[in-house]
Amino acid sequence: AADRRDEVMNTCCQSIYLLLSDKNNREAYWALFNEVYNLLKRFPSYNINQIFDKVDSNKIIAVRFLDAVSCKYYIALVKEVLNG
């Protein structure tokens, strides 16, 4: 179970690294970031799955590197930073 969790975490981290490194797709990244940020600010009590369900799926598709799990991990990271 721990090995599987580590594998998923590594995959998520690699996906987010690719997302942040994609210089040709910055507009799509910032559109996704702004949507996640605004949803987290608007619905601070929502959990990661609830925020994910509200994100425009076209914005997730546009960044190319995130699947559902890595997108939820990304949302969790942004939420953690916002909550300090």
User: How many Å apart are CA 23 and CA 37, to the nearest integer?
Assistant: 21
Exposed/middle/buried for residue 18 (C-beta within 10 Å: 0-12, 13-18, 19+): middle
Q: What is the pTM of this model?
A: 0.90
pLDDT, the chain, mean: 94
Q: What is the pLDDT of residues 32-55, one digit of tens each?
A: 999 999 999 999 999 999 999 999
- Residue 56 Rama label (left phi>0; alpha psi -120 to 50; beta): beta
Instruction: Give the length of the chain.
Output: 84
